[in-house]
A and B are shown apart, each in its own frame.
Chain A
Amino acid sequence: MNKYITAYYLDEEDLLKGIGQMKAKGLKILDVLTPFPVHGIDKALNMRRSRLTRVAFVAGAIGAVLGFGFQAWIFTVDYPLNIGGKPFFAVPSFMPVAFELTVLFSAFAMVIAFFVSNKLGPGAKALIHDERATDDRFLVVVEVDDSLADENIKEIELALAEAGAEGITLKA
């Protein structure tokens, strides 16, 4: 079992400043838990840009092709229906369904990818470091290896304190 050191800020601007100072000291931040999205944090933590947009695009394209192709196949190959002498391959009238399927595929694929990449889902267990992190605390979590000596832990705690974080606690 790994241990964690957590510390919190009460304001998102102090948090951003603090993260900068911690990084300057070479502290490895495992995660930052915030009650709402803090802008600029992705840059401070060097996060990659999310690739979910690509999932949305590819799935949308698949939906469009499937939606259009399915209708075209049914009405030209599988079971052509003569409806008032109108053309069998009626492109404009296939558009609405093709469009709806584009949106449906895109939205669902992206949301499923979102849950999978975050390991979220019905019944997923959350590791809750501090229950106030979803309320008004901005929590910084640092992972501590079991092999780490006590003085190194002290060092980390000192670095957190110097960066202005409050409530520094070591948890198993």
Chain B
Amino acid sequence: MYTSPLREPLIRGNKNYKQVTDDILSPMAGKPSKYWYAGITLAGIALLFGAWATFRTVFYGIGEWGLNKTIGWGWGITNFVWWVGIGHAGTFISAILLLFRQKWRTSINRSAEAMTLIAVMCAGFFPLIHMGRLLLGFYIFPYPNTRALWVNFNSPLLWDVFAISTYFAVSLVFWYVGLIPDLGTVRDRATTKIRKAIYGFLSFGWTGSARHWSRHETVSLILAGLAAPLVLSVHTIVSFDFATSVIPGWHTTIFPPYFVSGAIFSGFAMVLTLMIVTRKALNLEEYITLNHIESMNKIIILTGSIVGVAYLTEFFIAWYSGVEFETYAFFNRAFGPYAWAYWIMMTCNVITPQLFWFRKIRRSVVLTFIISIFVNIGMWFERFVIVVTSLHRDFLPSSWTMYSPTMVEVGLYVGTLGLFFTLFLLFIRVFPVIAVAEVKGVLKSSGEKQKLTGHE
């Protein structure tokens, strides 16, 4: 097998197959560390705050939120788009990078995809809670009913229903199919009867038969081929929620590509935030190396720059169109009462990622962590700016108003953050965080020892 002498190894340390299994599965055994308990306690408190806010919203209604008749979409949709966007990095890593044969994906795809699933759950919560009456949530699906009515297939909000539920279902299946061989490994290493029974059940009877592997590879490849256009379609459809309306600031054709690259941008930032902590906490620095962090940072520069160009293009077109309302909407964004939000967005999304042009910064764990947080914040503000500044000064100046969230809305957002971290912390205890079998598959071509000796 040819291995490039120039490429950095993807797995550090002189590993053999057994060590790979031991290293990756060891965090699942034994008692969790005190940091894990601290983390899950904090996340649990956030989750309780969210539960309180959910109770208020369901019991008293949407009036508990800071929305008014001019601004009918506030934090709810902002958080929805933010979470869906974050989910996109996981699918990007596991599907698009698989199609492009990027071997570095093997160390991060499992946890990034788990992040996708959790983020989509957090996202789905917002449209549901915004309905106010959660029990009637099933009204959004087209089913034969006594009212003889169907849903409106011309509405992008309905497309969203299909896009998000398909996205969640397909991502779950993709993730689980990839997990099955590793669950087999966990089952075969289990020392207690209960563990063996549980993982035996979860591993679906996997043995590692060559015939199964061959089909597994086919399934993974085709699922990646399906998930790649799917992930692009999901955020495209999310952007249609805005773009197909006739609100200045929303009604633009640039939205689909701009939203998709923004989604991947914010998703990679969240993957970095999580991975930098995870690799340290679980001693996986030899598997998630500086090389991986650098590769992700390169994607951040690319997608961040696309987002930056999109911001400038929007602005230019607003002026160039000569449409008074369009021009005003953008002028108001940058210099109106919400200018602070706009400039937070510009600084975090356009300027900070450009620091990654320096190799030193790209390979610095601490700086990458800080910048990834900046990007997370910036991308949240991007959605806030798009939603609120486009609405708060509408066509009728007498209804111009301002919007600020209530404690209940803050609670819902913090609650989903709590849900996100709770589920992620449980995930790292219960499932292998790195795809063991896939790492073994690239060990020969990308391991450190194998690279140095140039195996025969």
B150 adjacent to A52 (CB under 8 Å): no
- A56 closest partner in B (C-beta): B222
Contact string, B147-161, partner A, CB cutoff 8 A, digits 1/0?
A: 011101110101100
With contacts A93-B154, A111-B223, A135-B18 taken as known, whether A104 is within 8 angstroms of B170 at the C-beta atoms is: yes
Give the distance in Å from the alpha carbon of A132 to the alpha carbon of B240 in the complex: 51
Task: Please indicate the chain A residues that have their CB under 8 angstroms from the CB of B210 in the complex.
Answer: 31-34, 38, 41-42, 45, 47
Q: List 7 A-B contacts (CB under 8 A).
A: A41-B214, A96-B163, A96-B240, A111-B177, A118-B211, A134-B187, A134-B206
A104 adjacent to B218 (CB under 8 Å): no
Give the distance in Å from the alpha carbon of A101 to the alpha carbon of B226 in the complex: 11
B437 adjacent to A35 (CB under 8 Å): yes
- Interface residue? A100 (CB, 8 A): yes
B162 adjacent to A110 (CB under 8 Å): no
- Interface residue? A169 (CB, 8 A): no
Task: Please indicate the chain B residues that have their CB under 8 angstroms from the CB of A106 in the complex.
Answer: 222, 226
Interface residues of A (CB under 8 A from B): 12, 31-38, 41-42, 45, 47, 50, 52-53, 56, 60, 70-71, 74-75, 78-79, 81, 83, 86, 90, 93-94, 96-97, 99-101, 103-104, 106-108, 110-111, 114-115, 117-129, 131-136, 139
A110 adjacent to B219 (CB under 8 Å): yes
Give the distance in Å from the alpha carbon of A114 to the alpha carbon of B156 in the complex: 34
What is the CB-to-nearest-CB distance from B351 to chain A, in angstroms, rounded to a whole number? 35
A-B pairs with the 8 shortest C-beta distances? A124-B205, A136-B17, A96-B159, A131-B188, A126-B205, A37-B213, A36-B437, A134-B185
Give the distance in Å from the alpha carbon of A135 to the alpha carbon of B240 in the complex: 47
- One of B118-126, B196-204, B364-372, B386-394 contacting the partner: B196-204
Give the distance in Å from the alpha carbon of A101 to the alpha carbon of B201 in the complex: 30
- Interface residue? B215 (CB, 8 A): yes
Interface residues of B (CB under 8 A from A): 16-18, 21, 142, 148-150, 152-154, 156, 158-159, 162-163, 166, 169-170, 173-174, 177, 180-181, 184-185, 187-189, 200-219, 222-223, 226-227, 229-230, 233, 237, 240, 437-438, 440-441, 444
- B170 closest partner in A (C-beta): A107
What is the CB-to-nearest-CB distance from B28 to chain A, in angstroms, rounded to a whole number? 14
A132 adjacent to B437 (CB under 8 Å): no
A33 adjacent to B209 (CB under 8 Å): yes
Task: Please indicate the chain B residues that have their CB under 8 angstroms from the CB of A101 in the complex.
Answer: 162, 166
Selected from B142, B204, B226, the residue in CB contact (under 8 A) with A107 is B226
Task: Please indicate the chain A residues that have their CB under 8 angstroms from the CB of B222 in the complex.
Answer: 52-53, 56, 106, 110
Task: Please indicate the chain A residues that have their CB under 8 angstroms from the CB of B440 in the complex.
Answer: 35-36
Most buried by B among A47, A70, A126: A126
With contacts A97-B159, A131-B188 taken as known, whether A74 is within 8 angstroms of B437 at the C-beta atoms is: no
Selected from B202, B219, B229, B441, the residue in CB contact (under 8 A) with A111 is B219
